[in-house]
Amino acid sequence: MPKITIDGREIEAPANAMLLPVALENGVHVPHYCWHAKLSVDGSCRMCQVEIEGSPKLVIACNTPVREGMVVRTQTPAVQNARRGVMELLLVNHPLDCPICDKAGECLLQDYSYAFGSRQTRTKEPRRKLQKRKEIGPRMILDQERCILCRRCVRFCREITHTNELGVFNMGDRSMLDVMEGQPLANDYSINTADICPVGALESKDFHHKLRVWFLKKTPSVCPSCSNGCNITVHHYRDRIWRMMPRRNDAVNESWMCDHGRLNYQQVGDETRLRQPQLRRTAKLQTVAWDEALGYVARTLRDTVRTHGAESVGVIASPHLTNEELFRLGQVVSLLGTKNVDTALVVGQGDNLLIKPEKAANARGARDMGLRPTAGGLNVAAMLEAAAAGKLRVLYILGSDVWKVADPQALCGALEKVGCLIVQDVFDSPLTERAQVVLPSLTWAEKTGTFTNVKGRVQQIHRAVAPRDEQPSDGEIFSRLLNQLGEGQWHFEATAVLEEIASAVPAYAGISFARVGAQGFALPESAGDAA
């Protein structure tokens, strides 16, 4: 462990580490453009120059390994002069696009220009003209004039996605960033290049000219699109989500997230969402009050269990719900006494970077909370068969994944035979068309709770946008059902339910929101996945 001194402070650095990350970790801010924690060192921006005692010239901190007894100064006049020079060179050709640039407000060039640049321009020559607004992929736009040639995106495409679409062409002051001929930036992780771009050269089409970044409020959360559970920050404003950004978590997603997950927020603010419970009294679904709908559901479930036995009720759970909600659902199921409970899970394509085949955030959590058929119980396919044979009188379906999983013909046949179909979902679907009762569900962005990812890491999600019309969460719906079905006063409060989980589910023993924290809590290895 070499000991070094930065600005008079003694710091113990890990062996073979580079100077820049050591300084940043210890709270010494050394400005940098091309260095990124998850990419290789390039050393092309020259912004991180520092003074080292005994060295004849300034050196770049990102490519200088720490050495025992090294004395580093980051605030000397020589360093400040070098930074001002670098800034001036970068700004020679950088267009004055700040008012229309989406990066303005989170742009490193802006920030460092305020902090280290000079206030005047000395050049009078016209700025370099290159291509603006170039479509380089289905989700990305390139503005070559704004690029400062830090090559972060080039390294990302080379080292992380191994697709090599981007490159710097020409030499010297004619260098410019572009995509390879006939090879658009179309990989599944392309929008990450917009995140790591220190300026507004690479922009996501989805967020292009949408909102100034300084209005955005940030809520840490977890991506709901697959079971990898990438840590994200939800950027929202005026109760609407505007974009999602990856949040660094070295155990899960490092600094990246896939484009599919990132663009999967539109459903939250969709106008066609179900907002009110509906009940089919005649041929048509009618909007009813919550108490009426839940009363009907509870009455139907209780009467069916009483007259036809618990085995005539089936529950198909959704792996999009939080652990807390699924735990409450489990309580409803055990109160009914039915063994016919399963989770409908869409399994698709995965890759070896982040995307996992299980296309739901909490597939593992649903298994851990016991929402799968136990001995004598029916799974999804068997439930549909039983329904088609007229043995299943009430089917309670959460989410619409079963529509994608089951054979459509078998499903339609089964649903026609079911006496009472209860559907709880976010959107209208072929399921709600056939339902007796429709209960609207909340999306992940409107609730607080935990998801368990495929590797058994429990992570928190937080409410980013408020639900409309005080719409209750799914957990609240289950709690109210419990109140109607049996004795007791159940409420739904995620913190309290997680405590219940901690004492009821062995694998989750001792878990709490405090222990889950911002970076998640890995379940012990012994608590293997039930699947």
Partner 1 sequence: MATQTVAVRRPLAMRAGFIRSAFAILKGLWITNRHFWRNLWGFIIRKPTVFTVQFPEERLVQPNAFRGMPVLVQMDNGKERCVACGLCEWACPTDCITIYPAETADEIERYPRVFDIDMSRCMFCGLCEEACPEEAIVMSQNVEICAYSRRGTLWHKDDLLVPVDKLLDTRLFHVRRGYDR
Residues near partner 1 (CB under 8 A): 98-100, 104, 132-133, 208-212, 214-215
**Distance between CA atoms of residues 246 and 233, nearest Å:** 6
Strand pairing report for 71-73 and 3-6: parallel
Q: What is the DSSP letter of 445?
A: G
Shortest distance (Å) from residue 110 CB to partner 1: 13
Amino acid, res. 342: D
- Smaller CB distance to partner 1: residue 38 or 205? 205
- Smaller CB distance to partner 1: residue 97 or 499? 97
Q: What is the DSSP letter of 320?
A: T
**Distance between CA atoms of residues 468 and 96, nearest Å:** 41
- Smaller CB distance to partner 1: residue 210 or 299? 210
Distance, CA of 64 to chain centre: 35
Shortest distance (Å) from residue 237 CB to partner 1: 11
- Smaller CB distance to partner 1: residue 140 or 380? 140
- Smaller CB distance to partner 1: residue 20 or 216? 216
Shortest distance (Å) from residue 256 CB to partner 1: 27
**Distance between CA atoms of residues 248 and 265, nearest Å:** 19
How far is CA 176 from each of CA 125, 145, 192, 233, rounded to the nearest angstrom? 19, 8, 20, 31
Shortest distance (Å) from residue 99 CB to partner 1: 4
- Smaller CB distance to partner 1: residue 132 or 308? 132
Which ranges constitute the DSSP H helices of 455-512?
Answer: 474-485, 494-504
**Distance between CA atoms of residues 313 and 331, nearest Å:** 15
Joined tokens for residue 476: 């609240």
Asked if residue 145 lies in contact with residue 127, where contact means CB atoms within 8 angstroms, the answer is yes
Amino acid, res. 408: P
**Distance between CA atoms of residues 334 and 338, nearest Å:** 7
- Smaller CB distance to partner 1: residue 84 or 210? 210
Return the closest-CA partner of residue 232 out of 512, 469, 461, 1.
Answer: 461
Residues in Cβ contact with 211 at an 8 Å cutoff, skipping those fewer than 6 apart: 237, 242
Shortest distance (Å) from residue 105 CB to partner 1: 9
- Smaller CB distance to partner 1: residue 122 or 209? 209
Return the closest-CA partner of residue 531 out of 358, 367, 320.
Answer: 367
Residue 307 exposed, middle or buried by CB count within 10 Å (0-12, 13-18, 19+)? exposed
Phi then psi dihedrals of residue 503, to 5 deg: -95, -15
Asked if residue 128 lies in contact with residue 146, where contact means CB atoms within 8 angstroms, the answer is no
Shortest distance (Å) from residue 96 CB to partner 1: 9
**Distance between CA atoms of residues 274 and 425, nearest Å:** 8
**Distance between CA atoms of residues 392 and 271, nearest Å:** 34
**Distance between CA atoms of residues 164 and 171, nearest Å:** 19
- Smaller CB distance to partner 1: residue 235 or 320? 235
Shortest distance (Å) from residue 136 CB to partner 1: 16
- Smaller CB distance to partner 1: residue 99 or 506? 99
Joined tokens for residue 445: 């962005």
Shortest distance (Å) from residue 196 CB to partner 1: 23
- Smaller CB distance to partner 1: residue 102 or 259? 102
- Smaller CB distance to partner 1: residue 169 or 215? 215
Shortest distance (Å) from residue 368 CB to partner 1: 43
Shortest distance (Å) from residue 36 CB to partner 1: 28
Shortest distance (Å) from residue 247 CB to partner 1: 25
Shortest distance (Å) from residue 147 CB to partner 1: 17
Asked if residue 511 lies in contact with residue 528, where contact means CB atoms within 8 angstroms, the answer is no
Q: Give the three-class secondary structure for 328.
A: helix
